[in-house]
Amino acid sequence: MLELKRGDFPRDFLFGASTSSYQIEGHSFGGAGPTHWDTFAATPGNVVGGQNGAIACDHYNRMDEDLDLLKDGGFDVYRFSTSWARVMPEGRGRVNAEGLDFYDRLVDGLLERGIKPAATLYHWELPAALADLGGWSNRDIASWFAEFTQVVMERIGDRVWSAAPINEFFCVAWMGHFLGHHAPGLRDVRATARAMHHVLLAHGRSIEVMRGLGMENLGAVCNLEYTVPVDGSDAAARAARTYDGFYNRFYLGGLFNRAYPADLMEDLDPHMPEGYRDDMDLIGQKLDWCGINYYTRKIVAPAGGPWPHLETVDGPLGKTQLGWEIYPDGLYHLLKRVHDGYTRDIPLYVTENGMANDDRVSNGAVDDKARIDYLNAHLARVKRACDEKIPVKGYFTWSLLDNYEWNEGYDPRFGIVHVDFKSLKRTPKASYHALAKVLRT
Ligand code: FCB
* CATH, range 6-439: 3.20.20.80
Q: What is the pLDDT of residues 26-65, one digit of tens each?
A: 999 999 999 999 999 999 999 999 999 999 999 999 999 9
Q: Count Cβ atoms within 10 A of the Cβ of residue 360 and give its class: 0-12 exposed, 13-18 middle, 19 or more buried.
A: exposed
For 199, other C-beta atoms within 10 Å of its C-beta total: 28
Contact yes or no for 264/237 (Cβ under 8 A): no
* Ligand 1 closest atom vs CA 356: 6
pLDDT grade, residue 73 (50/70/90)? very high
Beta bridge partners of 78: 17, 117
Give yes or no: 352 in active site: yes
Q: What number of CA atoms fall less than 13 Å from residue 210's CA on the CB side?
A: 34
* Ligand 1 closest atom vs CA 354: 6
- Single-letter amino acid, residue 80: F
Q: Which of 168, 225, 325, 408 is catalytic?
A: 168
The residue contributing the CA closest to ligand 1 atom 4 is 405
Cα(398) to ligand 1 centroid in Å equals 8
Q: Which of 25, 125, 225, 352 is catalytic?
A: 352
Average pLDDT score, the chain: 98
Q: What is the pLDDT of residues 74-96, one digit of tens each?
A: 999 999 999 999 999 999 999 99
> In testing the pocket of ligand 1, which one of 22, 405, 413 has its CB within 8 Å of the most ligand atoms?
405
Q: CB within 6 Å of ligand 1 — which residues?
A: 20, 23, 167-168, 171, 223, 293, 352, 398, 405-406, 414
Alpha helix locations (H) across 157-249?
169-170, 176-177, 189-212, 234-244
The residue contributing the CA closest to ligand 1 atom 9 is 20
Q: Residue 120 is inside which H or E element, if any? A: strand 116-122
Cα(404) to ligand 1 centroid in Å equals 10
Query: Residue 372: which region, alpha, beta or left (left: phi > 0; alpha: psi -120 to 50)?
Result: alpha
Question: What is the pLDDT at residue 89?
Answer: 98
Q: What is the pLDDT of residues 341-390, one digit of tens each?
A: 999 999 999 999 999 999 999 999 999 999 999 999 999 999 999 999 99
Contact yes or no for 246/177 (Cβ under 8 A): no
- Single-letter amino acid, residue 285: Q
Question: What is the pLDDT at residue 441?
Answer: 86
For 433, other C-beta atoms within 10 Å of its C-beta total: 16
* Ligand 1 closest atom vs CA 23: 9
Give yes or no: 168 in active site: yes
Percentage of the chain with pLDDT > 90?
100
How many helices and strands in the chain, by DSSP H and E? 17, 11
**3-class SS shares of the chain: helix, strand, coil, % to 5:** 45, 20, 40
Question: Does this model's pTM top 0.85?
Answer: yes
Domain residue limits, the chain: 6-439
* Euclidean distance between CA atoms 271 and 230, whole angstroms: 28
Q: What is the pLDDT of residues 260-294, one digit of tens each?
A: 999 999 999 999 999 999 999 999 999 999 999 99
